[in-house]
Amino acid sequence: METPYSVLDPDERPRRGRFWIGLAVGGLVAVAVMIAVGHFSRRALSMDVDSLPAPPPPVAVRTTATDTSQSSGIDVSRRNAIVRAVDRVALAVVTISVTQVQRERVTSPFADDPLWRFFFPDIGQEFERRVRSMGSGFIVSPDGLVLTNEHVIRGASEIVVSLPDGRTFNGKVSGEPDAQSDIAVVKISGSDLPVAPLGRSDDLMIGEWAIALGNPFGFLIRDSHPTVTVGVISALNRNFDVTSAGGGSYRDMIQTDASINPGNSGGPLVNSEGYVVGINTFIFTQGGGSEGIGFAIPIEKARQSMQDVLRFGQVRHNFWTGIHIQDVNRWIAESLGLPDDRGAIITEVEPNSPGAKGGLRRGDVILAVNGNAVTGDKDVRREFVGAVVGQRIEFTIVREGRRRQMTITLEEDPASRRTRE
């Protein structure tokens, strides 16, 4: 009969007992060793910590000259070119509050009925309504001349000019505001008036900094300090037709992405050196707000208009060139050896005229005016829209097969001069 697996041989039992006893003794020894090692390790660690030197007492932090210079360096770095430019101009930027008197008539289909007029005598009568609006401007002379847009003060019966320092003055329009160039000059009387330095607009570079200042809040807040927006000069010499510009003549406009919002009209556009290079005038928008496409009148053109207003009482658009032109047709182009029939040919140059003084001759073919290519005499005439007496006009012409650059300076029409005299 086979022995079951659980039954051990009598000779095997002592060996199995000794195995389990040895295993138990080995375990006890291992535990004892671990306890001993831990004890001595803790003791050694305790001795090492106790033997370390005591930490030094805390040292009080004092502000030294070096710390002050570092703080000043941070302040100086924050005062960048934009901050310095704004400082030069901001105090001369003014808020122009305008009151207009509008006449309205109460109308009714029964206005001519005597019975209705008996019970409602106000039908058909005119009433006056006072409307307030606001724009911006900037002081350009110590005696209180303020430049702004004509549409800011249009129809004004009362003008109040507010300075950032809290002073307010009654303003008076100087001369005749010019709707065609959208320039107006307002005069205030005061002392210690800040002045915005005027720069140049004929050397602007696309991509350079542009800073727009003005008051876009209107009457929402009682604060006459200007708002500053920053962008770049996006484009130059932008021209708009009279029909698309609401009747005004906007030529050689400065385009910028510095935000120009309602209320900013008439405020200065400033370069990074703190000089006024333009007058913020209008924006292109589809939703009513700023979309990064704003336009400013070049300060050179505004300065010329202001000088005319102060000297002659109005901007002189009655200029004279003394040249007569017509379209270049195919026969003229072939006879002159031109590659096509684009341009306008000068048919006559009056003696002692601006054209004659500028070196233009009969037979010269005009290809461009002020850098803008022309295809015919209509394009040439369009380039003179909004021009003023004293303005310089550049021509690109072809004479005897060679291109030339000619410049004339517009003069007052002799007929207008004789009438004034």
pLDDT in tens, the chain (421 residues): 333 333 344 444 555 555 556 656 566 656 565 655 555 445 544 444 444 445 445 444 444 444 555 555 556 678 889 999 999 999 999 999 998 876 666 565 556 666 666 556 666 566 667 788 889 999 999 999 999 999 999 988 899 999 998 899 999 999 999 988 899 999 999 899 999 999 999 899 999 999 999 987 655 666 678 889 999 999 998 887 655 545 567 888 999 999 888 788 899 999 999 999 999 998 776 565 556 789 999 999 999 899 999 998 988 888 989 999 999 988 988 888 888 889 999 999 999 999 999 999 999 999 999 888 999 999 998 888 888 888 899 999 999 889 999 999 999 888 766 555 5
d(CA 184, CA 309) in angstroms, rounded, equals: 8
What secondary structure letter does DSSP report for 364? -
How far apart CA 116 and CA 79 sit, in angstroms, is 71
**Strand (E) or helix (H) holding 133:** strand 126-139
Which SS3 state, helix, strand or coil, does residue 16 take? helix
Domains of the chain: 92-187 (2.40.10.10), 209-306 (2.40.10.10), 319-420 (2.30.42.10)
Question: Is the four-CA dihedral 315, 321, 326, 331 of positive or negative sign?
Answer: negative
Task: Tell me whether residue 39 is one of the annotated catalytic residues.
Answer: no
From the candidates 97, 136, 151, 257, give the one annotated as an active-site residue.
151
Instruction: Tell me which DSSP letter residue 339 carries.
Output: S
Which entry of 201, 249, 259, 265 is annotated as an active-site residue? Answer: 265
- Residues 18-41, buried b or exposed e (16+ Cβ, 10 A)? eeeeeeeeeeeeeeeeeeeeeeee
Active site residue 265: yes
Q: Which of 178, 182, 252, 257 is catalytic?
A: 182
At 83, the amino acid letter reads V
Dihedral (CA of 348, 354, 359, 365) sign: negative
H or E element at residue 230:
strand 227-240
For the question of residue 182 being annotated catalytic, the response is yes
| Separation between Cα atoms, residue 211 and residue 229, nearest integer Å | 6
